[in-house]
Amino acid sequence: MDSSQRIKIFSVLSLSIFTAMLGLGIVVPILPQYAQTLGASGVWLGAIFAGFSIARSVSMPFVGRFSDRRGRKVFIVSGLFVYALSSLGYVYAYSPETLLIVRILQGLCSAMIVPIAMAYIGDISPKDREGSYLGMFNVSLFLGFGFGPFVGGFIHDLLGVNADFVVMGVLCAVSWILAMLYLPSGDTSSHALRFPPASYPTMLRNHQVQGIMLFRFMNAFIRGSVITFLPLYASYRLNLSGAQIGLVVSSGVILTSLLQYPCGRLADKFDRKHLMINGTLVYAVCVILLPLTPNFFLLLGTNLLLGALGAVPLPAASAAIIEEGKKYGMGSVMALFNIAMSLGLGTGPLVSGLIHDVFGLSRVFYCAAGIGACGALLSVRLLRSGTVATRHREAGFIEEP
């Protein structure tokens, strides 16, 4: 693939995903409170957030496999179109049950968007520059999602909660138009994969894939818990406004996005496993500080610290999984990678919802940090054993006549 085509694909995907994630991020600071106005308990709140992630996880293996065979564009534009239409379902939701249905539908659509876009980026990434390419792409992804809560908080304060949902739908529609008109229709997956994608059982027997998936699950578990219950802490414990809550939530994500490219460069130069594990452990320790913050400015500063620390492991993990995708099938491996993320984002709020109802709000952050840190440590063994196995295979190959 020549550089001009690579730049075109990258630019269109980045702009489309930025616009879509801006729309998705708008509802983050207001969805927990909105769900509670419909009568949602802590468990229902966890289920509403988990429903999105679980639906996404169930559908991704099929979408990822078909995208390896049929191409990427059809899934991206279809997912964006249905997502835009389903955004109106939030306006007409009248109970936790109907809100859960809307979230499940959008979870199914989401499986066609970001994971397949990441596979597309993996297809066009040159060797040994996977971290840089995914880092640059993650800038648009996180920047859109980061500005979303900030914009959503202001829209909520000025126009009300329904305006947030309408704006989300409009932005997703704009993203669909961009992808539909400007994304090349050619099947770039054939450039990265010259053979049929491997079966999922074959991929899951690989210790490297197992270790990366476990890491991604635990990393997302912490983030899912924080992003669900941080707005509640800011609202009910500190009495912050919608705009202040949006600023707190956005600040960390925006800083994470701005650091994605330099952290991607780090992932291309240094040991990716060390960046993944050590970055997650330090991040988990700092999550414990959140329920100890007594005012807006300290909460904002703590979340900025988390944003900086959270930027380190993601490009490293993305680059590591791209290496596996070039062996097994980019769409299929990215599906597994994003399934692990979705399960973490789903399980985190659900478990944290139970902890909230039984032990209280502060314990949510303590337990999420502890569980995430333990999981990161467990993934070390898998990653190390996977590296040893790879070296043995390479040595055996070299010794063959």
Q: What is the pLDDT of residue 392?
A: 44
Could you tell me the CA-to-CA distances from 369 to 110, 270, 288, 335, 375 in Å, in that order?
27, 26, 7, 26, 10
The CA distance from 26 to 46, in Å, is: 19
Q: What is the pLDDT of residue 196?
A: 63
The CA distance from 212 to 314, in Å, is: 11
69 alpha carbon, distance to own chain's centre: 24
Q: How many other CB atoms sit within 10 Å of the CB of residue 370? A: 15
Q: What is the pLDDT of residue 24?
A: 75
Local mean pLDDT, 10-residue blocks, the chain (401 residues): 75 83 76 81 77 81 81 87 86 85 86 84 76 78 76 81 85 87 65 60 85 88 87 86 80 83 82 84 90 91 90 85 81 83 81 88 90 83 62 41 28
The CA distance from 118 to 233, in Å, is: 33
Closest CA to 342 of 23, 61, 10: 61
The CA distance from 388 to 401, in Å, is: 22
Q: Are 121 and 13 in contact (CB under 8 A)?
A: yes
Fold of 3-179+198-399: Growth Hormone; Chain: A; (1.20.1250)
Closest CA to 259 of 308, 332, 198: 308
Contacts of 236 (CB under 8 A, 6+ apart): 361
3-class DSSP state of 38: coil
Residue 360: exposure state from Cβ atoms within 10 A (0-12, 13-18, ≥19): exposed
Q: Are 380 and 276 in contact (CB under 8 A)?
A: no
Q: How many other CB atoms sit within 10 Å of the CB of residue 98? A: 14
Q: Are 178 and 335 in contact (CB under 8 A)?
A: no
Structural domain boundaries in the chain: 3-179+198-399
Torsion, Cα of 121, 126, 128, 132 (10° steps): -50
The CA distance from 226 to 349, in Å, is: 8
Structure-token pair, residue 88: 């109106």
Could you tell me the CA-to-CA distances from 59 to 2, 52, 220, 353 in Å, in that order?
33, 11, 18, 24
Q: What is the pLDDT of residue 300?
A: 92
The CA distance from 164 to 90, in Å, is: 10
Residue type at position 58 = V
Residue type at position 124 = I
